[in-house]
Structure 1
Amino acid sequence: MKEKSLLFTYGIIFFVVITWGLNIVMVKVLVEYFPPVTMTALRILLAGVVAMSMIVVSMKMRKLTKKEWIYTIGGGLLGIAAHHYFLTMGLTLTNASNAVVILALVPVTTSIFAVIFLGDRLTKWRLLGISLAFSGVALTQGGVQEAIALGDIYVFVSMVVQALSFIFIRKATVTVDPRQMTSMMLLIGAVGVLIVSFILEPGSLVYMVGAPWGVYVIFLISAVLSTAIGHFLFNAAIKRIGAGQTAVFINLVPFIGLVGSAIFLNEQVYWYQTLGFLIIVVGVLFGTGYIERTFMKKKQGNGPLAYKDRAG
């Protein structure tokens, strides 16, 4: 029974990872039909309303302290508003395949910020991983034209602000339920992007109608399934099997995005993008300290005390 429950949890994680990987592909489709900033604001707002409704129904809501509000607002403005604004604008100028590869840098960039702001230790192996990951992204940019390079810069900025937001999230979730924080961040971020849309795209709400029905289905899947429900399911999985095992699945997100962009958008994936992606994955495993922690656990497990326990 326990094994079936574990397999079910792994299945849930894999499902969430697929929706996250394909979300970039879905957003790329949406920016072809709708004003990008307005569409992003409405998509995040819908996700926030759904997520908050789930929190209210589950009775997991509580008042935040002043410090918790600061972390939540900071995370919402950076990780939701700024991240989605720059990502959406980037996808109007670059391919989805480029975007997913650049976003694969989020874990190692978060590690860098954790060293700077949280006092995490930067070992030689983590430094090697960070170097490898950024080298991989540099490799994926081979042969890219100037017009697309601007889009890549937008996506890179979106990656950096999202990584920085994880520092706020990490501080807040020490005392705040991650599900409550996620829903509040989505609503805060949606308001931020909505204000920007009124400035950059005045009167653009009228252009949100008239698209093919299939595009609205994609909009709903991206907002509700991928963004709102996806985060809830992933947080539930973390509680069941731990952050370490769930984090490994995150490395599949850019791979699925890369495959999805080739299948659904007919984007050509070049050899240097594939090679760069593989280098990034190796860099992420080292740069986040995952390889180092795993090796140290095995080393401790094979120590004299562990041997004595097995012999006894």
Structure 2
Amino acid sequence: MRIYFILIGTMMIWGVNVSLIKILVDHFPPVTITALRIFTASLAVFFTLKMTNNVRRPQGKEWGYIFGGALLSVVCHHYFLAEGLTKTSATNAGLILGLGPLLTALFATMLLKGRLTVARWIGFLLGGVGVSFTVLAGETGISTMTTGDIDIFLAILSQALSFILIKKAAATLDPRLLTGYMLFFGSLVLFVISLWMEPQGLAHLSEAPPFVWIVFFFSAIMATAFGHMIYNYAIGKIGAAEASIFMNLSTFFSLVGAAVLLDESMLPAHFIGFMLIVSGVLLGSGSLEELWLQRKRNIQIQKRS
């Protein structure tokens, strides 16, 4: 339950981070600032782990998990997400990103030989419906499918696959340390891509006002560094599928963040979607099953006594 509450807090930060990233890309070249943000996050992760003596050099196949995770979770996910958002609507993107938990559950069942109960599958479906309801509550509705939709799907597909690698790596490598290595090497690759796509990107960094840099460091340290450390740690503890269902909450929290920071409107239908999402999280994460089993065990103990 402690991990569940921590994940809810992380989703709140990730939801607000959507608005923060929008502020950043409005002032900076997107790929360049993404590479710099992720690199800064990697330094924050290593500094935190160094203070607690949790830094070590990876061994053997752990390097494969690191580079595989960096390629999928950092490079592919962020690159296709940035590209897709320039070609498709936010509504389409939100709906496609809502497939993340279902894709993760599918890969966990296929690749990790995981088993999901009927209640958890219902939870994943409810969460998907809640995300769809929340996104479609906007004024624009769903737009025609574009090539950007394919990019968004590739972004969430690569992220879902990375969760499987993180779960496998957690057997020998601390997921928090894995996060630091993934962010570091992934940011280097993204920086090389930015030099190709945005050759003048670094020259534009001095043009932003001071408050934007405050936004940058909050996004890099709180959302990217600590957020991914916590989330990847949770994957290692409760599983990729179980942790991924909480991602549905970030859709609602992103709407709240947009309303507060960007002065965008929230509709009553958004709260209906939120209730569906919460129901999906309670079922999909297995928290209701855990509470029911705990109550059943307590009753049995009382009967024996």
Question: Is the TM-score greater than 0.5?
Answer: yes
Q: CA deviation at 1:147?
A: 7.8
Q: Deviations over 1:221-264 (max 9, x none)?
A: 1112322244456788x6xxx759x9698765443322111111
* Paired residues of 1:75 and 1:185 also in contact (CA < 8 A): yes
Give the TM-score, by structure 2 length: 0.80
Q: CA deviation at 1:73?
A: 1.4
**2:143 corresponds to:** 146
Alignment of 1:97-112 (within 5 A): 103=97, 105-112=99-106
Which amino acid in 2 is paired with 1:42? L
**1:205 corresponds to:** 202
Compared with structure 1, are the counterparts of its residues 57 and 138 closer, same or farther at alpha carbon in structure 2 (3 Å cutoff)?
Answer: closer
Which amino acid in 2 is paired with 1:186? L
Q: How many positions carry a matched residue from both structures? A: 297
Which amino acid in 2 is paired with 1:211? A
* Paired residues of 1:100 and 1:257 also in contact (CA < 8 A): no
| Separation (CA, whole Å) in 1 of partners of 2:257 and 2:156 | 20
Give the secondary structure class of the aligned counterpart of 2:26: coil
* Paired residues of 2:128 and 2:248 also in contact (CA < 8 A): no
Which of 47, 58, 61 is the aligned partner of 1:53? 47
Give the TM-score, by structure 1 length: 0.78
Alignment of 1:140-179 (within 5 A): 140-141=135-136, 143-144=140-141, 146=143, 154-179=151-176
Give the secondary structure class of the aligned counterpart of 1:120: coil
| Separation (CA, whole Å) in 2 of partners of 1:133 and 1:145 | 18
Q: CA deviation at 1:175?
A: 1.0
Compared with structure 1, are the counterparts of its residues 122 and 243 closer, same or farther at alpha carbon in structure 2 (3 Å cutoff)?
Answer: closer
**2:67 corresponds to:** 73
Identity %: 39
Which amino acid in 2 is paired with 1:191? L
Compared with structure 1, are the counterparts of its residues 285 and 196 closer, same or farther at alpha carbon in structure 2 (3 Å cutoff)?
Answer: farther
Which amino acid in 2 is paired with 1:307? Q
Q: Deviations over 1:256-279 (max 9, x none)?
A: 322111111122334444433432
| Separation (CA, whole Å) in 2 of partners of 1:68 and 1:135 | 37
Give the secondary structure class of the aligned counterpart of 1:286: helix
Q: Deviations over 1:139-182 (max 9, x none)?
A: 33364363897766654543332222111111111111122111
Give the secondary structure class of the aligned counterpart of 2:263: coil
Runs (5+) with no aligned partner, structure 1: 1-5
Q: CA deviation at 1:114?
A: 0.7
**1:3 corresponds to:** none
Q: CA deviation at 1:45?
A: 0.8
Which amino acid in 1 is paired with 2:168? K
**2:30 corresponds to:** 36
| Separation (CA, whole Å) in 1 of partners of 2:152 and 2:278 | 18
Give the secondary structure class of the aligned counterpart of 2:27: coil
Alignment of 1:196-235 (within 5 A): 196-232=193-229
* Paired residues of 1:99 and 1:152 also in contact (CA < 8 A): yes
Which of 103, 110, 128 is the aligned partner of 1:134? 128
The question of 1:286 aligning with 2:283 is answered yes
